[in-house]
Chains A and B, each alone.
Chain A
């Protein structure tokens, strides 16, 4: 390469010197610059017509969904690949502004207080990553990622009935290595005098590694890093999978229809143009819309009750987040508090602003077609509980509100990770029902390991496999917030 540059560069300079006698010096310099630029790598070639906006025709891995989970899968794939540039990864994202993506609209909390051990491990892994984020996501000459992590902890309150579960959960969390302490109502009153402890039997408080951060900076940091590692991005929508099927018999003599995706059709934004992308692996990280993507691949089309007829039970659910101002509200020490009935809030900034909300019950589930905010929900369902738990919130003023989507798993509200048993080259990383952001980094690594090595290494995610929907094995979390 260097020799080529030198040779052509020398040849050109001789040529230019001859020409220099007749024309001005300035023109020569600019011409020279242009020539050098066209010789340097990294510049677009001029072909018949410009196809730069189209995704490549071939890619080893296509990741559907460029949210935090999709990017994390891309990051770990590139990080764990055995040879530099061994895998070509394409991320297809429908909306580059992420206006409806769950990542940016999330409250950004991270906690270890889960009841499934794998979730605790995922959280611990992610928090470790976030702590060293500027080492993992370091890009030469780029400013550091400012994660704005607030290490204020989660405070979970439990009523008389929930106290035993909370205690056993905390025991498990401590065994996994999380720093959680239990608090009696008296201790709670001493530590946070602004809480009304009536109806609280026990509380658990995360001393370390819990809090909230800015999801947008994580997303941008990941995006920048992943781009520097050579992952390709494309704005478009996956409209079709070209598949082939293989009829086989299993040992019991039943017929099994194994399918394989060969091409992904990516439709470009605002046009009818589409590009078929040949690929070996498709990763479904489409978040709230991953149910639709799975359907495109023919998952769930079959007689009910069979593995073929088992759908991916992930659908969008709308959740409201409200931000209010309360001058007499709790101070700097406020953790992310979750009440016995699921109402939660946290401090936002220093100016006595708070954000919070609540998950609605199944019956009052809002229509997920748009992202309109229901302000009556706050008045009727959130505020009375808030004011009961924190008397200072009797007088507050709602400043703003927004809505975002959960990639809600209707089966057991936990994630789906790993390959589909029948569509063999579709891998899932979705369905986290509200804690996708905090688990994204661990999940990405798990999927990448499954893909590259064929089994989970860092965290055993086998309880999260798709087959649990068919086997009816629920992996339930005690408290979903």
Chain B
């Protein structure tokens, strides 16, 4: 598992650049940052001239369309080779990695090789998918839902995976044992609540989710909800142990209400 991940580390950097405008929209940046900090000439012009605003809107829409196109379903591949090949092909096209049962990981740079030897894979189900950093959204996730033997799914740092996507994972409930959602910027506790469908889950990684308001409490509640599952998310506490004298006291209280890690959002009183 280590090898593909090391490779995939490079991917977000690559496409971050092209998709920045859209990510601004999709909630990755905070409103204050995009509002206060830089008031560009472009913004000034679009405030006063309708045409500039229209043009900017047009480009914004184009970017969104691109994401939708990339996340279309691979019906033709699915009809010809079955759902496993279609799912694998989808992930490889997006820059992820796939593991068929009893085989090595197939990485995205090997996808031509994969196409050439597709008959070799056809009889074998997909066992694990590593989609770290891929631009998968709700629609694209549909390609993975027909993988009946999928045991491990990693959606680490996927910028478009949100609460809606989590509510869509229930068809995998019978097989899915490992799920990693670490670093997804749009996943909140509201989406984590519907993971209760996945009763066979053994390991769930929910570390480093910036949209979760109360990470400590959320983790406890998720652990309660999935009693057979090891929930990993203690990165929050690790982040806090920078000061040497504040270290040992947090295990005593009945509910460890942890102060938020730097960079996370302020808790809302009425949430």
Contact A332 B27 (CB under 8 A): no
A138 CA to B47 CA, complexed, in Å: 15
Chain A's nearest CB lies how many Å from the CB of B257? Answer: 11
Chain B's nearest CB lies how many Å from the CB of A255? Answer: 50
Contact A140 B57 (CB under 8 A): yes
Q: When A332-B222, A333-B196, A350-B221 are in contact, do A208 and B168 touch as well, CB less than 8 Å? A: yes
Contact A134 B27 (CB under 8 A): yes
Closest partner residue, chain A, to B48 (CB atom): A40
The stretch from A48-56, A144-152, A472-480 touching chain B is A144-152
The reply on A135 being an interface residue by CB < 8 A is yes
Q: When A148-B190, A149-B190 are in contact, do A143 and B170 touch as well, CB less than 8 Å? A: no
Contact B224 A332 (CB under 8 A): yes
Q: When A151-B164, A152-B193 are in contact, do A134 and B56 touch as well, CB less than 8 Å? A: no
Contact B221 A331 (CB under 8 A): yes
Q: When A134-B25, A144-B27, A208-B168 are in contact, do A42 and B48 touch as well, CB less than 8 Å? A: yes
Interface residues of A (CB under 8 A from B): 40-42, 131, 134-135, 138, 140-141, 143-144, 146, 148-153, 191, 207-209, 211, 331-333, 347, 349-351
A148 CA to B163 CA, complexed, in Å: 9
Contact A150 B190 (CB under 8 A): yes
Chain A's nearest CB lies how many Å from the CB of B109? Answer: 31
Closest partner residue, chain B, to A41 (CB atom): B48
The reply on B46 being an interface residue by CB < 8 A is yes
Contact A131 B193 (CB under 8 A): no
Contact B194 A152 (CB under 8 A): yes
Chain A residues lying within 8 Å of B46, measured Cβ to Cβ, are 140-141
Chain A residues lying within 8 Å of B270, measured Cβ to Cβ, are 349
A144 CA to B159 CA, complexed, in Å: 14
The reply on B79 being an interface residue by CB < 8 A is no
Q: When A41-B48, A138-B60 are in contact, do A151 and B194 touch as well, CB less than 8 Å? A: yes
22 A-B pairs, CB-CB below 8 angstroms? A40-B48, A41-B48, A135-B64, A138-B57, A140-B53, A140-B60, A143-B30, A143-B31, A143-B35, A144-B25, A149-B190, A151-B167, A151-B193, A152-B193, A208-B168, A208-B170, A211-B167, A332-B224, A333-B193, A333-B194, A347-B193, A350-B213
Contact B218 A149 (CB under 8 A): no
Contact A332 B25 (CB under 8 A): no
Q: When A149-B163, A208-B167, A350-B218 are in contact, do A143 and B34 touch as well, CB less than 8 Å? A: yes
Interface residues on B, range: 35 or more
Contact A141 B49 (CB under 8 A): no
Q: When A131-B138, A151-B167 are in contact, do A331 and B225 touch as well, CB less than 8 Å? A: yes
A141 CA to B35 CA, complexed, in Å: 7
The reply on B91 being an interface residue by CB < 8 A is no
- Which chain B residues numbered 38 to 56 have a C-beta less than 8 Å away from chain A? 43, 46-50, 53, 56
Task: Name the contact of B163 in the complex, choosing from A134, A151, A333 (C-beta under 8 A).
Answer: A151
Closest partner residue, chain B, to A212 (CB atom): B190
Chain B residues lying within 8 Å of A191, measured Cβ to Cβ, are 196
A207 CA to B171 CA, complexed, in Å: 10
The reply on B161 being an interface residue by CB < 8 A is no
- Which chain B residues numbered 201 to 227 have a C-beta less than 8 Å away from chain A? 213-214, 217-218, 221-222, 224-225
- Closest 6 A/B residue pairs (Cβ): A143-B31, A151-B167, A333-B196, A332-B221, A150-B190, A144-B27
Contact B27 A150 (CB under 8 A): no
Chain A's nearest CB lies how many Å from the CB of B34? Answer: 7
Chain A residues lying within 8 Å of B50, measured Cβ to Cβ, are 41
Chain B's nearest CB lies how many Å from the CB of A228? Answer: 8
The reply on B192 being an interface residue by CB < 8 A is yes
Chain B's nearest CB lies how many Å from the CB of A457? Answer: 22
Task: Name the contact of B164 in the complex, choosing from A138, A140, A149, A347 (C-beta under 8 A).
Answer: A149
Chain B's nearest CB lies how many Å from the CB of A248? Answer: 44
A42 CA to B44 CA, complexed, in Å: 12
A131 CA to B27 CA, complexed, in Å: 14
A138 CA to B57 CA, complexed, in Å: 8
Chain A residues lying within 8 Å of B27, measured Cβ to Cβ, are 134, 143-144, 146
Closest partner residue, chain B, to A139 (CB atom): B57
Chain A residues lying within 8 Å of B166, measured Cβ to Cβ, are 151
Chain A's nearest CB lies how many Å from the CB of B146? Answer: 14
Contact A207 B218 (CB under 8 A): no
Chain B residues lying within 8 Å of A152, measured Cβ to Cβ, are 190, 193-194
Q: When A149-B163, A151-B167 are in contact, do A140 and B56 touch as well, CB less than 8 Å? A: yes
A153 CA to B164 CA, complexed, in Å: 12
A131 CA to B161 CA, complexed, in Å: 12
Contact B26 A349 (CB under 8 A): no
Chain A residues lying within 8 Å of B213, measured Cβ to Cβ, are 350
A41 CA to B270 CA, complexed, in Å: 41
Chain B residues lying within 8 Å of A41, measured Cβ to Cβ, are 48-50
The reply on B127 being an interface residue by CB < 8 A is no
A427 CA to B225 CA, complexed, in Å: 48
Chain A residues lying within 8 Å of B25, measured Cβ to Cβ, are 134, 138, 144
The reply on B189 being an interface residue by CB < 8 A is yes
Chain A's nearest CB lies how many Å from the CB of B150? Answer: 18
A140 CA to B21 CA, complexed, in Å: 10
Contact A150 B164 (CB under 8 A): no
